[in-house]
Amino acid sequence: MNELYILLLSAASLGFIHTLLGPDHYLPFIVLSKARNWSQKKTMWITFISGVGHVGGSVIIGVVGVALGMSVSKLENIEAQRGGIVGWMLIVFGVIYSIYGIYKFFKHGGHTHLPHFLLPRKIRQLHHLPMDEIAVQKPDNFKITPWILFLIFVFGPCEVLIPLLIYPAADHNAVGVASVSIIFGIATISTMLIMVFLGYKGTSFLKFKNGEKFWHLIAGLIILLAGLGMQFMGW
């Protein structure tokens, strides 16, 4: 029983530390909530669901892997490969969203030195509208963004969880496996929620003139940075 207590303490500690030290666990939610003007409730709900998917994916892989007799090194290799996939997913998402941010910048009357004929026709038309008419253009209804985040986090690995699951699983201790998974999940998701909440509150104080023109681009660049950090710097 003492071993289980140590495992549970380790699960709680590692869940907190690995989340806190991984900016990719919370930065995308913070910047997208600001760019897309999500409410606090919506931001926290999207974070929670993504966190459940994040932990749940690794739990399923760990349990199934142990049931099939896979070694720890094999399971960790699978998680490492998943980490590489997610890193590239964040990079691609960051690039696409940055391009979207540039489009939104020009659409909202962003100043440009590009020749008029090089701008998309829709943006050229907007430049001829008064600013009050631009402000009441069709609202942003790009509702797929939360699902993209959820999908990325489902693929996201929890490498530190796999070794914790091996001991109780190898001992055929279902209660131990469930307990470790739950404690690790609570620690991970709670840390995500706390960091996103603090970031959400912090960005609410960032107000500058015509800031809505820049936030989509800022969000895209930060997501891209998170992906690059995860892929090449071991975040």
Give the pTM: 0.80
Residue written as token pair 């820049």? 214
Number of domains in the chain: 1
- The number of helix segments (H) and strand segments (E) in the chain equals 10, 0
Higher pLDDT, 189 or 161: 189
pLDDT of residue 235: 63
pLDDT of residue 84: 87
For the stretch 50-60, pLDDT in tens is: 999 999 998 88
Q: What's at 84, amino acid-wise?
A: G
pLDDT of residue 144: 78
pLDDT exceeds cutoff 90 at 107: no
Half-sphere exposure of 178 (CA within 13 A, CB side): 3
What is the extent of the structural domain holding 141?
A: 2-232
Minimum mean pLDDT among 43-47, 64-68, 125-129: which range? 125-129
Q: What does the alpha-carbon distance between residue 198 and residue 218 come to, in Å, rounded to a whole number?
A: 18
For the stretch 194-217, pLDDT in tens is: 999 999 999 887 765 555 678 889
For the stretch 123-134, pLDDT in tens is: 445 444 444 444
pLDDT exceeds cutoff 70 at 109: no
